[in-house]
Structure 1
Amino acid sequence: MSARPKTGGVTNQLQTPMAPLPRVEQVSDPAVSGPRPSTGRALLPGLVACLAAALVGLVVRHFVPAASPLLVAILLGVLVANARRPVEAWQPGVGLAARHLLRAGIVLLGLGISLQAIAGLGWAVLALVTVIVTVGLLGTYGIGRALGLPREGALLVASGCSICGAAAVAAVEGVIRPRKEYVATAVALVVLFGTAMIPIVPLVARVAGLPPQVVAIWAGGGTHEVAQVVAIGGIAGGGTLLATAVVVKLARVVLLAPVTVVLGIQQRRLTGTSGRRPPLVQPFVVGFVLAVLLRSSVTLPAPALALAGTAQTLLLSMAMFALGLGVSRAALARASGRSVLLGLCGTVLVNVLALGGALLVARAG
């Protein structure tokens, strides 16, 4: 096994001689270079920079509802990293954001999921959701490997397309510890192609005369980000259609927990007895599950849920900016062609599964 130097929230994984992609030069990681003072004053500059990028993302979404704050933040990080040398004073705070704030955002994601609402979808829709995630994940990963992409890059894109977009990419990143440029590419692709579905789904639904139930299941089952599902549901009719689409999407998000556990087990086997073995179950996955159980067992006030949702977006956006700061423009360019094709294939696959399954569910009902 190759040594894996620790780089904050993301670990550079050196490819074996048989790796399909050319070896990428070591990217300077502002999150970990140099000492890490633990004082609040030392953390402040980097955290302020990450927060500023996250707020820019929220402002952009306010004016362009289809835009993802996470994508805006990571693009800002890449732009800053390639336009100037990393600011030394940012390093401690950026390292905290790239690791701990990212995982805290995933935990808060669980507060938006109610098991009762998911169970109300019925066994047929739940079975379809399981098929979408399972076949979407394995199929997209297989396509990625056939295209010659490395295991880590294919897994990240497959997870984002089949489960829940950027949040899934971030969760899987914590398990498999890929190169930073793989993470940035996967986030950009799932947000790009998921956003492309916002006009496509309502347009196809209107031309084909699809019933609201089919549109709702298709949107929730085939779109990558929750925010994109909300946009589609609102355009397609709102009301019950929107609510159903969001619940179907959240049913996919729930499967993030078992998927990361399976990947953790696989990663431990690949690591073997040499090197640092990842935990069987990541602590943030436990926190995510506990948050889902809390939401499902206790009636939380609406203001608290709204605050948790905003905090989740801020934390994940701050983490994405931190990850973007460690991305090499040259490294991204080398993998862009096949990665973009994989993102397209993964998006088409999950949408074919979602639309086909929605039509079968409607016919059976």
Structure 2
Amino acid sequence: MTQPTSHRPTSVWALRAPGLLFAAAIGLASMLLARIPAVESIGMSALPLAIILGIFIGNTFFPRIAGNLGAGLDYSRTMLLRAGIVLFGFRLTFQDILGVGLSGVVIAVLIVASVFLLAIWLGRLLGMDRDLAMLIGSGASICGAAAVMATEPVVKAQAHKVSVAVATVVVFGTIGMFLYPFLRVPFGLDAHAYGVYAGSTIHEVAQVVVAGRAVSQEAANTAVIEKMIRVILLAPFLLTLSAWMRAKSGGTGKSKLVIPWFAILFLCVGAFNSLHLLPKAWVDAILLFDTFLLATAMAALGLRTHAIAIKQAGMRPMLLAGLLFVYLIVGGLAINLGVQALLG
């Protein structure tokens, strides 16, 4: 006899629960590790830590215990990811834009557009997979690991490609975090100009904070505001990418028009947060939960990533990311100085 429809949701969640709990445990562990002062001092946030832990566990003892964890892991890296991106909107307010003015907005738009288009062009020259080049480009141009994860549903990339792209964010974002404070004096940047430069060109939010604080608190505040403008651009970027991919395919095939509703909701949440209707304690709690959701999604992705697939990707992804890193330093500086000269 067929099971009553009313019982089916319970059975679905019972199927998902083991994988969800396993990924959540890794996500929680990554959040706790990220709070260790030594880890925090190098700008390693919970998200990259979660995927690193996931890949390590996924390629050691996990295959022996995987069993019935698949359904929960797949749910974590899809639905929990989208929910996490939506709540990511609580990290920004549109008032942040006022802190850096029109020039800060123009700089962010030019950086995002030029880095992503350069990634596609260089990826083609290097003979790379287009999806992987776009994932690396999104991570370098917008907001690191979170942007890579948000781009994945649009390009429908395989798990190992997402992991490779996140790895490039970890490597070059970390290098940039330590390198940038030494560039301020040779480049002739005051605290404000340095903050805009760092915020517009460094990969991860945590890395931006560390690079800014190494100079001054003023530089850190400006850097984070500029970084948040890049985060705001995530939604229009995803919508534009989806339309572009459909146009490239002639409106058929894999690249059908995908409306990333989670990106639109992300903007709506940002708009709501701009009204400051919720107490700060509530927003802080939401952000903590959001980090947990994203870390859980990252952990699930790592568990689904096989080391052999990363090895097969070769050195070209790192070469592409390295070239983009050089462009962010040199081209990013040129964009910053040029826009500031024109707009002040």
Tell me the CA shift for residue 41 of structure 1: 3.0
Q: Distance in 2 between matches of 1:222 and 1:356?
A: 11
Q: TM-score normalized by structure 2?
A: 0.89
Tell me the CA shift for residue 263 of structure 1: 1.6
Q: Give the partner amino acid of 1:329.
A: A
Gaps of 5+ in 1: 1-35
Counterpart pick for 2:60 among 67, 70, 83 = 83
C-alpha spacing 1:355/1:299, structure 2 compared with 1 (3 Å)? farther
3-state SS of 2:128 partner:
coil
Q: Distance in 2 between matches of 1:100 and 1:76?
A: 21
Structure 1 vs Structure 2 CA RMSD: 2.1
Q: Distance in 1 between matches of 2:219 and 2:168?
A: 26
Q: Distance in 2 between matches of 1:276 and 1:156?
A: 16
Tell me the CA shift for residue 347 of structure 1: 1.8
1:205 match = 184
1:147 match = 126
Q: Distance in 2 between matches of 1:153 and 1:37?
A: 37
Counterpart pick for 1:226 among 189, 200, 205 = 205
2:98 match = 119
Q: Give the partner amino acid of 1:181.
A: H
User: Are 1:271 and 1:277, in contact at CA under 8 Å, matched by a contact in 2?
Assistant: yes
3-state SS of 2:314 partner:
helix
Q: Following superposition of structure 1 onto structure 2, how do residues 1-365 of structure 1 map, counting pairs within 5 Å?
A: 38-63=11-36, 64-65=39-40, 66-84=43-61, 85=63, 87-206=66-185, 210-238=189-217, 240-269=218-247, 278=256, 280-361=258-339, 363=341, 365=344
Tell me the CA shift for residue 273 of structure 1: 6.7
Aligned-pair identity (%): 34
Higher relative helix content: 2
User: Are 1:163 and 1:224, in contact at CA under 8 Å, matched by a contact in 2?
Assistant: yes
Over residues 28-55 of structure 1, what are the superposed CA-to-partner deviations in whole Å (9 max), with x where a residue is unaligned?
xxxxxxxx98443332221121111112
Q: Distance in 1 between matches of 2:307 and 2:202?
A: 28
Tell me the CA shift for residue 350 of structure 1: 2.2
Tell me the number of residue pairs that the alignment of Structure 1 and Structure 2 aligns.
329
Q: Distance in 1 between matches of 2:314 and 2:55?
A: 15
Q: Give the partner amino acid of 1:340.
A: M
Q: Give the partner amino acid of 1:51.
A: A
Q: Distance in 2 between matches of 1:253 and 1:325?
A: 27
2:3 match = none
Gaps of 5+ in 2: 1-8
User: Are 2:198 and 2:223, in contact at CA under 8 Å, matched by a contact in 1?
Assistant: yes
C-alpha spacing 1:353/1:274, structure 2 compared with 1 (3 Å)? closer
3-state SS of 2:44 partner:
coil
Q: Distance in 2 between matches of 1:163 and 1:230?
A: 15
Tell me the CA shift for residue 261 of structure 1: 0.7
Q: Distance in 2 between matches of 1:328 and 1:121?
A: 43
C-alpha spacing 1:316/1:336, structure 2 compared with 1 (3 Å)? farther
